[in-house]
Amino acid sequence: MAKKLFVGSISFNTTDESLRAFFEQVGTVETATIIKDRMTGRSKGFGFVEMSNDDEATAAVAQLNGKELDGRAIVVNEARPREDK
């Protein structure tokens, strides 16, 4: 079963494709999405990556948390369920 990861501190220059390529170093990526502002279309500086299984997700957190992507050290951890406002 796929496992979703939260990726924070993403550079505004990072694309969905470059995020996917970065995480493919560790395993199979199901989806890679950078969250964008609805009004401006500009990146909000975070996104989500879905890895194909728990082992690859755990490896991604261990290997990529704190690594540099497009000039910024990214934060990678397991995504938590969305809370109601």
Within-domain flag for 85? no
The parent domain of residue 59 ranges over 3-30+43-78
CA dist 28 to 24, 60, 73, Å? 6, 10, 22
* The one-letter amino acid at 41: G
Within-domain flag for 38? no
- 13-40 confidence digits (pLDDT tens): 999 999 999 999 999 999 999 999 999 9
CA dist 26 to 13, 30, 69, 85, Å? 22, 13, 14, 34
Please give the model's pTM, rounded to 2 decimal places: 0.94
Closest CA to 32 of 54, 13, 7: 7
Closest CA to 12 of 36, 38, 39, 48: 36
With a pLDDT cut of 70, the percent of the chain lying above it is 100
CATH number at residue 54: 3.30.70.330
Within-domain flag for 37? no
Number of structural domains (the chain) is: 1
